[in-house]
A = this chain, B = another copy of it.
Amino acid sequence: MAKTSQAAGLHPASLAKLHDLDAALELMYYGWRGMTLEADAYLAKQGLSRPHHRILYVVARRPDIAIGSLIEILGISKQALNRPLNLLLERKLLTSKRSPEQHRSKLLRLTAAGQRIEQRASDHERKVLREAFDRVGATGAAAWMGVMEAIADTN
């Protein structure tokens, strides 16, 4: 966590704009950073990082999710999932149990501790969004959502 470099990186006012959309491009970049910075710092204090949070986030919103579905949603390979997932299980932030009937798949759930960490990390991100939305009002927020949906929809 190079604290010093962040401030420098966040306002590269010195970059010439070669295209009219360069400002938007950079806003996307620094917006992403702005949203995740505090959350990442919090996670690092817990010895976790972004991929762990992604797992916790999804499992929180899909209790009893199977590993296969988790892989699909996260968009990574099962081998890549393996290490962070095992860490979360070891730390007892997640539990895995096999359901009586569907014995083939493990079902994942957050423990209380896992819920707490997921919530706090996500809260850092939501706080940033909330403050930004507060600054621009409801219509601005709605417009933002519209643009982001269009961007996310590209593929």
**Contact A146–B151 (Cβ < 8 Å):** no
Known contacts A2-B77, A19-B122, A25-B122: does B139 contact A34 (CB below 8 Å)?
Answer: no
Distance of A142 from chain B, by nearest CB (Å): 8
Interface string of A40-69 (1 = CB under 8 A from B): 000000000000000000101110000000
A interface, over-half SS: helix
Is residue A149 contacting chain B, with contact meaning CB distance below 8 A?
Answer: yes
Distance of A5 from chain B, by nearest CB (Å): 4
| Interface of chain A residues 10 through 43 with chain B (CB within 8 A) | 10, 12, 14-19, 21-25, 27-28, 30-35, 37-38
**Contact B139–A151 (Cβ < 8 Å):** no
**Contact B150–A147 (Cβ < 8 Å):** no
Closest residue of chain B to A123, judged by CB? B19
State how many copies of this chain the complex holds.
Answer: 2
Is residue A128 contacting chain B, with contact meaning CB distance below 8 A?
Answer: yes
| Interface of chain A residues 116 through 155 with chain B (CB within 8 A) | 122, 125-126, 128-133, 135-136, 139-141, 143-155
The 22 sampled A-B contact pairs (Cβ below 8 Å) are: A5-B75, A8-B72, A8-B75, A9-B72, A12-B73, A14-B62, A16-B61, A21-B129, A24-B148, A27-B149, A28-B35, A34-B155, A35-B151, A37-B155, A131-B150, A132-B147, A132-B154, A133-B147, A135-B147, A135-B150, A140-B146, A141-B147
Q: What 7 A-B pairs have minimum CB-CB distances, sorted nearest first? A: A9-B75, A143-B143, A132-B150, A5-B75, A30-B152, A27-B148, A144-B147
